[in-house]
Amino acid sequence: MWRKTLLVTFGILIISSLISGVTAEKVGNQTGEQSDKFSYACNQPYAICDTAFCIPDQDDPTKMRCSCTVENGTSMGKLPCNEWDAVGMYYDKNGGQWMIKGGYAVGQVTSTYSFIDAAPIEGNEIDPNNTPADYTGDVYLKSCSNKTGDGKYADCWNAPCTVLPVDINEDINTDRVASSYAVCDCGLVENLSEWSIAVHGADNCENKTLCNDYIISGEPINMSKVGVLKLSKYLKDNPGVDPSQPYKEGFCEDCTSCASNTSTESS
């Protein structure tokens, strides 16, 4: 699974380096609820970088370029909702897809945090009464460590992200179908002994070298736990606000029989 993800990541990052410049125009402000003075729960387009593989920017190795998926729904960001509205994009209800407006080379969203594609952790079984029929979530949080203190990860929370058109050669003056991926400009956090990342599938929970083989979007372990608690409380207090997130993201070691049950994996 991770090999396929890495190939897709590098392809998108290389293409994105050919596109530059975004003209700002905000798409209708959305309302949100302040979780604390640093975090806001908002319902609007965002990028999710929880499992993103990243490469250093060719001009500045302290900055990371990460390939993240574009989603729409409830997530947690660091700024008020109207400060990370989508730019130069709109949703085509008839076509069921996001579009980049004519006159804009690319669209823009912000990287935030959600439980989208989180694996079930309560007994590791899908609840048919609380889950869409096609739900295939298989994302777990994974603890990382580095005994020499040389660990590193990409910090993507609240990072600006560029959304390319599916066809980069299409006339810029026309509305174009947006890619389902965004390239996010993330920071680099270094000299770590422990941190956490998110992974697709139980097999990657057991992968002992993944954390140090690549630079992957991550965060401090304690922050991961706080984020899970805050978002799960918001979703619980606002039932029905986002049915696409029926499960909260749990650490691999907290999942029941996750290593032996593969029925919920999409890889």
pLDDT in tens, the chain (267 residues): 444 444 444 444 434 443 333 333 333 333 344 444 458 999 989 999 999 999 999 999 889 999 999 998 999 998 888 888 899 998 888 888 889 999 999 999 999 999 999 988 765 566 667 677 788 889 999 999 999 999 999 999 999 999 999 999 999 999 999 999 999 999 999 999 999 999 998 889 889 999 999 999 999 999 999 899 999 999 989 988 888 888 888 898 766 444 433 333 322
Q: 149 in the Ramachandran plot: left (φ > 0), alpha (ψ -120 to 50) or beta?
A: left
Strand pairing report for 39-48 and 63-77: antiparallel
- Structural domain boundaries enclosing 13: 2-19+31-254
Within-domain flag for 265: no
- Residue 226's DSSP bridge partners are none
Number of domains observed in the structure of the chain = 1
Within-domain flag for 267: no
Within-domain flag for 26: no
Within-domain flag for 234: yes
Within-domain flag for 194: yes
Q: In Å, how far are 36, 90, 100, 106 from 219, measured between CA atoms?
A: 19, 31, 31, 28
User: pTM above 0.85?
Assistant: no
Instruction: Name 185's Cβ contacts closer than 8 Å, sequence gap at least 6.
Output: 57, 63, 64, 65, 159, 160, 161, 162
Within-domain flag for 35: yes
Scan for tokens 């691999």, then name that residue: 252
Within-domain flag for 261: no
